[in-house]
Amino acid sequence: MQNQLKIYNTLTGEKEVFQSILENQVGMYVCGPTVYSDVHLGNCRTFISFDMIYRYLLHLGYKVRYVRNITDAGHLENDADEGEDKISKKARLESLEPMEIVQKYTTGFHEIMAKFNALPPSIEPTATGHIIEQIEIVQEIINKGLAYESNGSVYFDVETYNQENDYGTLSKRKIEDLISGTRDLDGQSEKRSPLDFALWKKASPSHIMRWPSPWSLGFPGWHLECTAMSHKYLGAQFDIHGGGMDLKFPHHECEIAQAKSFTGTNPVNYWMHTNMLTLNGKKMSKSTGNNLLPDELFSGDTTLLEKGFHPMVARFFMMQAHYRSELDFSFEALTASEKGFHKLMQGVKDLELLSTKEASTEDVDGLISSFYAAMNDDFNTPVLIAQLFEAVTIINKVKDGKSSLSKDDLNNLKSTMNALVFDVLGLNYIDVSDDSKLSSAMEIILELRKNARENKNWEISDLIRDKLNEAGIAVKDGKDGTSWSVNS
């Protein structure tokens, strides 16, 4: 199966047969979160997509070194090397030490990833833990004549680099267009050209996060950390580098320029970019406020939802779209995914109880091939899920005595389906029949509570709500009645 995996490479714009640098081993680097606030569902979509990709590579038998960093310094408020450091700013606003902010949101990120059943990466390095490596790279790029110091800061010289290289190769931008698209420097700027980007910034007196360097007390530019950490843990050239598509420019473009200047080689063989999760047709984003937090989704505690959804339903919803397609979040879409998820769980459960016959009336080998054909086609999870539903149809037919499976076919189908549903899509088994018993019981309890409310017996109605909450069930009163969800 391994040779057949094709990956869409942003660099070439084509699906390419995947060939790892070292046989049976993969080096994969994914840009991690900037830990100055909670991750929203959009961020989660990107990390869950790469979790699926990681899981599939493991399933194919690769030994994967998966590095996903934590950005805890250097990410300024805007991409033009201006504004405050996002973490410093949050620390100032909340009167906390920057590392308290980092700790708080890193812990929160891990908790959310665990709820989504995402595997931890093999290495999770931080930008602040790699200042020395970053300084070394800056020095080397200066030595090569591709960066210059200006007033204690160091900038990458894009135009000089471009004389022998192709800046813009990843995002398909031409340097001439980039130049004409930027505003003129006003003479106050430290940069020689507006395209140049910071490798090192001198800290202003109010900037709390600062380290000594040959140029100033300062801090590294945001793009540099990923070059330093990917180089340290995966080498000068590695297999896969990923992130959301909004990171293509400038972040990943700058990474290529820095790494090539530092090592002389193209750092990455396959650049992979995930598409955005949208809300009301617009990208979910921290800065605009157009977003939903995972905990709001689980509890239903938001005006966007009539009830909460289990993290596995949300994961299934994400897997129903290809990682390179845009996906719009809505209550209706989640409700449809919940039905689909339950149907799949029921199918997986029924599969365990099927009895076999001498011969099969179904083409199980063909079905299994279609599962792999989907995944090998650039991790096409929506097609895989459609094929898994085909399998559920067959399972139901066998259950009803309308079809039969041989012992070998049944065993093959069981092991492949379990591996793909649980190990690769990363879903956890949820017993649907338990769920429906719980639903019936909750219907009775909420009916009793409704009666209490109608009789203005607030003591009883509040007691029921509080006791359910203690038992891990959140009850929400809305204008269309009362809904409930299991706290995850």
The residue range among 24-32, 172-180, 373-381, 397-405 that interacts with Zn ion, by the rule CB under 5 A, is: 24-32
Q: Is residue 244 a contact point for ligand AMP (CB under 6 A)? A: yes
Nearer to ligand AMP, 34 or 258 (CB): 34
Structure tokens at 20: 């790892």
Q: Assess contact for 243 and 251: CB atoms under 8 A.
A: yes
Task: Using DSSP, state whether 353 is helix, strand or coil.
Answer: helix
Q: How far is the CB of 255 from ligand AMP (least distance, A)?
A: 13
Q: Is residue 45 a contact point for ligand AMP (CB under 6 A)? A: yes
From CA 156, how far away is CA 137, in angstroms rounded? 11
Q: Is residue 246 a contact point for ligand AMP (CB under 6 A)? A: yes
DSSP class of residue 476 equals E
Q: Could you say which of Zn ion, ligand AMP, none residue 226 binds, taking C-beta under 5 to 8 angstroms by partner kind?
A: Zn ion
**What part of residues 221-260 is at the interface with Zn ion (CB under 5 A)?**
226
Q: Could you say which of ligand AMP, Zn ion, none residue 244 binds, taking C-beta under 5 to 8 angstroms by partner kind?
A: ligand AMP
Q: How far is the CB of 47 from ligand AMP (least distance, A)?
A: 7
Q: How far is the CB of 66 from ligand AMP (least distance, A)?
A: 15
Q: Does residue 250 have a cis peptide bond before it, meaning omega lies within 30 degrees of 0?
A: yes
The residue range among 94-102, 175-183, 220-228, 365-373 that interacts with Zn ion, by the rule CB under 5 A, is: 220-228
From CA 246, how far away is CA 255, in angstroms rounded? 14
How many residues at the interface with Zn ion, by CB under 5 A?
2
Q: Is residue 221 a contact point for ligand AMP (CB under 6 A)? A: no
From CA 139, how far away is CA 78, in angstroms rounded? 25
Centre a 10 Å sphere on the Cβ of residue 117 and count the other Cβ atoms it contains. Answer: 17
Q: Is residue 276 a contact point for Zn ion (CB under 5 A)? A: no
| Closest to 298 (Cα-Cα) out of 478, 41, 119 | 41
The residue range among 133-141, 142-150, 274-282, 431-439 that interacts with ligand AMP, by the rule CB under 6 A, is: 274-282
Q: Assess contact for 5 and 60: CB atoms under 8 A.
A: yes
The residue range among 41-49, 92-100, 157-165, 178-186 that interacts with ligand AMP, by the rule CB under 6 A, is: 41-49
Binding mask 62-101 for ligand AMP (x = CB under 6 A): ----------------------------------------
Q: Is residue 426 a contact point for ligand AMP (CB under 6 A)? A: no
Structure tokens at 293: 């937090």
Task: Using DSSP, state whether 35 is helix, strand or coil.
Answer: coil
**Length in residues, the chain:** 488
Q: Is residue 345 a contact point for ligand AMP (CB under 6 A)? A: no
Q: Give the burial string for 315-336 (b: 16+ CB within 10 Å, else e).
A: bbbbbbbbbbeebebeeeebbe
How many residues at the interface with ligand AMP, by CB under 6 A?
17
Nearer to ligand AMP, 276 or 395 (CB): 276
Q: Assess contact for 81 and 198: CB atoms under 8 A.
A: yes
Q: Assess contact for 471 and 441: CB atoms under 8 A.
A: no
What residues does 71 pair with on adjacent strands? 34
Q: How far is the CB of 45 from ligand AMP (least distance, A)?
A: 4
From CA 439, how far away is CA 433, in angstroms rounded? 10
Identified binder of ligand AMP from the candidate list 9, 20, 34, 461, rule CB under 6 A: 34
Identified binder of ligand AMP from the candidate list 9, 20, 46, 160, rule CB under 6 A: 46
From CA 158, how far away is CA 194, in angstroms rounded? 9
Residues that bind ligand AMP (CB under 6 A): 31, 33-34, 42-43, 45-46, 243-244, 246-247, 274, 276-277, 283-285
Residues that bind Zn ion (CB under 5 A): 31, 226
